[in-house]
Amino acid sequence: MRRVRGVTAIGLIVAAVVVLAGCGGSSTADTTRAFASAVNLRPGDLVGWFGGSVAEHVEHVAPYGPRVERCAGVTTPRRMAGVASGSLTRAKSAPRAAGSGTPQASARESPAAHAPLETLRSDVFVLPSEAAAGRELAVLSSARLRRCIEREMKAARSVGESESRTGEPGKPTSEPSYKHVEVVLLPTFGPQSFGLRASAENSPFGATGLPTREYEDSLGFVSGRALVVLSTLSVNHPIADATERRLLALLYSRAKAHRL
How is domain 2-91+110-257 classified at the architecture level of CATH?
Answer: 3-Layer(aba) Sandwich (3.40)
Inter-residue contact 20 to 60 (CB < 8 Å): yes
Model confidence over 220-247: pLDDT tens digits?
A: 999 999 999 999 999 989 999 999 999 9
Determine the pLDDT at residue 157: 77
* pLDDT value of residue 28: 74
User: d(Cα 227, Cα 88) in Å, to the nearest integer?
Assistant: 20
SS3 157: strand
Is the whole model's pTM more than 0.85, yes or no? no
Mean residue pLDDT across the chain:
76
15-24, 34-43, 76-85, 204-213: which range is least confident on average? Answer: 15-24
Burial 82-94 (b: 16+ CB within 10 A, else e): bbbbbbbebeeeb
Tell me the pLDDT band of 108, cut-offs 50, 70 and 90. Answer: very low
Note the pLDDT tens digit of each residue in 8-51.
344 544 543 333 233 445 677 888 889 999 999 998 899 888 88
User: What is the mean predicted confidence (pLDDT) over 197-217?
Assistant: 78
For residue 234, the tally of other CB atoms under 10 A from its CB is 21
Residue 238, CA atoms < 13 Å, CB-side half-sphere: 15
**pLDDT band, residue 168 (cuts 50/70/90):** low
Residue 102 pLDDT class (50, 70, 90 cuts): very low
pLDDT at residue 45 in the model: 93
What integer pLDDT is reported at residue 54 of this predicted model? 58
| Adjacent-strand bridge partners of 214 | 200, 235
